[in-house]
Structure 1
Amino acid sequence: MTSPAADKPLILSVDDDPGVSRAVVRDLRRRYGADYRILRAESGPSALAALREVKLRGQQVAVLIADFRMPGMDGIEFLEQAMDLHPFARRVLLTAYADTTAAINAINVVDLDHYLLKPWDPPEEKLYPVLDGLLEAWRGDEQRPVHGTKVIGTRWSPACSQVREFLARNQLPYRWYPADEPEGATLLAAAGKDISCCPVVITADGEPLVQPTDGELAERVGLNTTPAGEFYDLIVVGGGPAGLGAAVYGASEGLRTVLVERTATGGQAGQSSRIENYLGFPDGVSGGQLADRARRQAGKFGAELVTTREVVGLEVNGSARTVRFADGGRLCAHTVIIATGVDYRRHPARGVDEFTGRGVYYGSAMTEAAECAGHEVYIVGGANSAGQAAVFLSRNAGRVHLVVRADSLDKSMSHYLVQQIAGIPNIEVHTCTEVIAADGDDHLRGIVLRDNETGREEKAETERLFLFIGAAPQTDWLEGTIARDPAGFVLAGPDLTPEGGRPAGWELSRAPHHLETSVPGVFVAGDVHAESAKRVASAVGEGAMAVMFVHRYLA
């Protein structure tokens, strides 16, 4: 965490004479130390190294004061290179009387703001009035320090898109810098990297991360990636609405609860720009806001939230239920709630895989919205997530095309959304239509649409295609342990044995509870549950209900 002093604008003095250097800093601190951070260096290279670190941290530099005669790198050379890092800093050259001609020439070379003759005693007459004027002018400029995380990358890179999506879904603020623009190039140079290293993430502490994995990124930006204990009352696998609901109710009722999430809490609902039919939010709430509140609520009651840990297996070890992680770790508990939700199905059209992350996106409407301003945007899907994305993108996009295979939106989308879409003039709905191909070069340039009623095919130019299609449960990790239906959704309660009785291999005398799977003590909630309602409210409700059955099991 940065200190209060580190948040102050910087005044940097560079002089190879230690005596002069100390004198300059002494005078600067006496006058400006309360409002500015005073830093000194005794060579140009060491000063540039300090300025690179300051640049990566997103801190401001107000004034640079450099002695003209320094060995190796003189003051003019230093100021010229410092300009590339901090172009808005005011620049002052310290000179002896004999060097005034060089100082005057430097005005044109480094856009020098002032030169001071040594010695400047008394500073009240010769130093402070000059700096007072420079600082006043500097404060009058539009200076905006950028603290926090910075992402430098290329616009059509899948890896860069993934980093931005990870940060956005985890509610971690960041600023995006295209590597081919001046500020992005300057940050790369300050980090000692080039465009081939992208994405490069600069943390709030100024640490550059080159092409980080989700796990590496999570650790550096403060997310919890490691459980504090080895055994819990309840492990919740999945951080969507059902998992968050289970974590809140489990922890609030005294269960030692840990929630394990592969990527980011919120699930598909967390990517929704606006949910308007969730109880208690008459003005609507974004999925990200809802997930953030639920996450903080779970933490308030003592639930642990662990991110970027992928669960790949489930084991029964006597009375313990064990989940195995992809990295070889494992975690045990008395009970488990499976709340892994669903992922969007992969689109089978030719070219879609090739351009995923380079103009084709699964979800991601909020992350990419700024890039859609004024452009033609296509969205594939007929459920609420697609409708919410269409409404959201219509605010800035030139035109939004909603592509659905059905003959009407009414079959799969909430009535309020259908009405909203009908009333927005720059949203065009293409029914009985599907995308059959995607084309481009370094990124998406166009798609091919087919009218399924007439068979007619049509090419459409676009650089943005958002896919919100179907629901694919990621439950292969339950193979051989938990009963699922043919589509992979988890069976529970009465659905295990429609004719009544107990499922095969069930060892208890009672029948499974309503949300209990084919393994006693393992429950399911939310969209991954077979025949679920696929709505946020029902997922949260099942999460809470599953905790009730956990209590019954433990009793």
Structure 2
Amino acid sequence: MATMVDTPPRRPGPHEAHDTDLIVIGGGPAGCAAVRMAAGVGMRSVLIEPDALCRNLYRIPALNNVLGGHTSGPALGDAITAEVRGTELCRPLLGRRVVELRAHDGHIAATLDTGTCLTAPYTVVATGVGPLQPDAVPWITAPDGLILPPLPQADPDRAEGRTLLVLGGDRPIGTFLRAHPATATRLLVAYPEADTYKTEEIRDDPRVTLLPVEHLTLYASEGGRVTADVRNRGGGQRTVTADAAHVSIGSAPTAPAGDLVRDADGYCPPGGQHPRIIVAGDLRSARFQRIMTAMGSGSEAALRAYYAARGLSVGG
């Protein structure tokens, strides 16, 4: 994948009040859709992303629910990235993170990890979610500081013929299996009762062994292998071993610090935010975390900023 050369955002001229018309935080499908829509209505934008554009799409080997005929995450990611590269009114600022977001009466201020502060009349926050780790859930005991990769990051060639222990029954398991229908990888899926409904699509796959658990204690062993003591819901105990472990527990919001309003789970519902902060994509809720809904919400968020800057209501 080609590397984008980024230029710093243009500083405001003597007759300009802010650095840009719209600051978009997050370079996933929602953020990219926001800058494309903003450009379509003549708004300048700065897109801030600490990693590569659409980085999570490149970890999704198979797609079956997006328009445009794209059947893999990398194909869709390439298409979206090319669109953003061709958007003259957008200045991508990659490799930078917003560490604080503040809303004021007349503008918002986004402070970067470099100490630079950018201002705009409005911001779209689309930072999405990141994978939960074992220390985030009560049903797993694991070594302190253990960080496991999500299952979509498993290399199918290295996993061929091996046994992977998957912690949690979240839906990326089904995506992995559909993307690699001929792989001989065996998945031991340990999951709590709350994840039972998520495992329906994988329970008939012969490569999957379901392990409904009440509690799991994970141990790391030599050579990268892992061992886990599993207590099932009936009180029985067993020990399982695997060549590697991955997480599919779920996701947690990754919003920047500052003036975002969060719910009890850390998500940032669009309603109740400061009028100059517009939330889009997976950061809104755990219920609608889909690529198509993220892109639609990003486009809508940019339009909301456009209409608000002109004193118009969205329904007007």
Regarding TM over 0.5, the answer is: yes
2: CA distance, partners of 1:439 / 1:235: 43
Alignment match of 1:544 (pick from 278, 283, 299): 299
Q: Give deviations 1:44-103, integer Å, cap 9, x for gaps.
A: xxxxxxxxxxxxxxxxxxxxxxxxxxxxxxxxxxxxxxxxxxxxxxxxxxxxxxxxxxxx
Per the alignment, residue 308 of structure 1 pairs with 95
CA RMSD of aligned residues (A): 2.7
2: CA distance, partners of 1:447 / 1:550: 51
Q: Does residue 1:296 correspond to 2:56, yes or no?
A: no
Per the alignment, residue 477 of structure 1 pairs with 257
Check conservation: 2:225, 2:242, Cα contact below 8 A: yes
2: CA distance, partners of 1:398 / 1:532: 30
Say how many residue pairs are matched.
298
Per the alignment, residue 235 of structure 2 pairs with 455
1: CA distance, partners of 2:229 / 2:177: 18
Task: State the 1:363 CA deviation.
Answer: 4.6
Per the alignment, residue 194 of structure 1 pairs with none
2: CA distance, partners of 1:426 / 1:266: 30
1: CA distance, partners of 2:187 / 2:263: 36
Task: State the 1:225 CA deviation.
Answer: 4.8
Letter in 1 for 2:78: D
Q: Does residue 1:439 correspond to 2:220, yes or no?
A: yes
Q: Does residue 1:244 correspond to 2:38, yes or no?
A: no
The 1:267/1:383 distance shift into structure 2, 3 A limit, reads: farther
Letter in 2 for 1:248: R
Instruction: Indicate the percent of aligned positions where both proteins have the same amino acid.
Output: 23
Check conservation: 1:372, 1:393, Cα contact below 8 A: no
SS in 1 for 2:281: coil
SS in 2 for 1:254: coil
1:17-56 equivalences in 2 (<5 Å): none
Could you list the runs of 5+ residues in structure 2 that have no partner in the other structure? 12-18, 311-316
Q: Give deviations 1:178-199, integer Å, cap 9, x for gaps.
A: xxxxxxxxxxxxxxxxxxxxxx
Per the alignment, residue 489 of structure 1 pairs with 267
Check conservation: 1:225, 1:306, Cα contact below 8 A: yes
Alignment match of 1:382 (pick from 166, 169, 186): 169
Q: Does residue 1:287 correspond to 2:67, yes or no?
A: no
Q: Give deviations 1:20-48, integer Å, cap 9, x for gaps.
A: xxxxxxxxxxxxxxxxxxxxxxxxxxxxx
Check conservation: 1:365, 1:393, Cα contact below 8 A: no
Check conservation: 2:98, 2:256, Cα contact below 8 A: no
By percentage of residues, which structure has more helix? 1
SS in 2 for 1:527: helix
Structure-1-length-normalised TM-score = 0.49
The 1:533/1:267 distance shift into structure 2, 3 A limit, reads: farther
Task: Select the structure of larger CA radius of gyration.
Answer: 1
Task: State the 1:536 CA deviation.
Answer: 1.5
Q: Give deviations 1:370-393, integer Å, cap 9, x for gaps.
A: 321211112223232232124445
Letter in 1 for 2:210: V
2: CA distance, partners of 1:233 / 1:266: 23
Letter in 2 for 1:256: R
The 1:491/1:258 distance shift into structure 2, 3 A limit, reads: same
1: CA distance, partners of 2:242 / 2:211: 15
Could you list the runs of 5+ residues in structure 1 that have no partner in the other structure? 1-170, 173-221, 497-516
The 1:326/1:408 distance shift into structure 2, 3 A limit, reads: closer
1: CA distance, partners of 2:56 / 2:132: 12
Deviates more, 1:520-529 or 1:466-475: 466-475
Per the alignment, residue 130 of structure 2 pairs with 343
